[in-house]
Amino acid sequence: MKRYLPFIIIIAVFFVAAAAGTFLFQLRKPPPAPPIPTYGSPGAEPPHIRGPVNAPVSLEEFGDFECMPCFRLWPSLKNIENEFPKTLAITFREHPLEQHQHAREAARAAEAAGLQDHFWEMYDFLYLRRAEWVHSDNVRAFFIRCASDLKLDVDRFTKDMDGEVVAKRIAVDEARGASLGIDRTPMIYINGKKIELSSDPEETLRTEINAVLGKKGH
């Protein structure tokens, strides 16, 4: 038995080291990516996401920049985003409505800014300065000024607004909305659940998010 003892010790040490290595490897592994939504057809890729990509709560907004209810929802979304900075990811989907004269042009401006990694800055600009462009006779000039204010490459921005990539992204988002039967904006989904907004949308969103997180509402 004494003859085999060194071999037994070596084998034992090997298995302990292997187990420890496996454990450390598991610790170093990145967190799993959030599941791809299985409801409706796919939207534009990559999506516009604000917040942690692996957040346990995923809020998807179908919006129209000219839409007054979307404008009124915007500050509520900002507040909710600040309230749940580590547990909420917000995705925006383009859904410009035909009855809104400048909605599609605004969607093009947002997507063109997105091609220069400034989608969310333009998103906020379009709502913050909505009163300046919604009745304008020359919205293109206004959006170009916004691009300039954001320090974008204005020549590229102008070309991208009329380009195929921007047109395709909007069309794919619209197709996703159509597959879900969306006929108005804003429309909100939280982890795949369609949310009916109340007269207090911020409280509605807070309650739904806390429900996903297993917390009691306020």
- Whole-number Å distance between alpha carbons of 168 and 37: 20
Per-residue pLDDT tens for 202-215? 999 999 999 999 97
Q: Report residue 155 CA to chain centroid gap.
A: 27
Helix, strand, coil: what percent of the chain each, to 5?
50, 10, 35
User: Residue 59 in 3-state DSSP?
Assistant: strand
Compute the half-sphere exposure of residue 58: CA atoms within 13 Å on the CB side of its CA.
Answer: 16
Assigned token pair, 142? 């206004």
pLDDT for the residue 107: 98
* Cα 185 to Cα 163: distance, rounded to the nearest angstrom: 25
Half-sphere exposure of 93 (CA within 13 A, CB side): 27
- Name all domains of the chain by residue range, CATH numbers in brackets: 48-213 (3.40.30.10)
Q: Token digits for 32?
A: 């799993």
Structure tokens at 35: 């599941």
Q: Are 91 and 58 in contact (CB under 8 A)?
A: yes
Q: Say how far apart CA 206 and CA 199 lie, in whole Å.
A: 13
**Residues in the chain with pLDDT values less than 70:** 1-38, 216-218
- Which pLDDT score is estimated for 39? 78
Taking the C-alpha atoms of residue 1 and residue 76, their distance in angstroms, rounded to an integer, is 74
Strand partners, 193: 190
Global confidence as pTM: 0.80
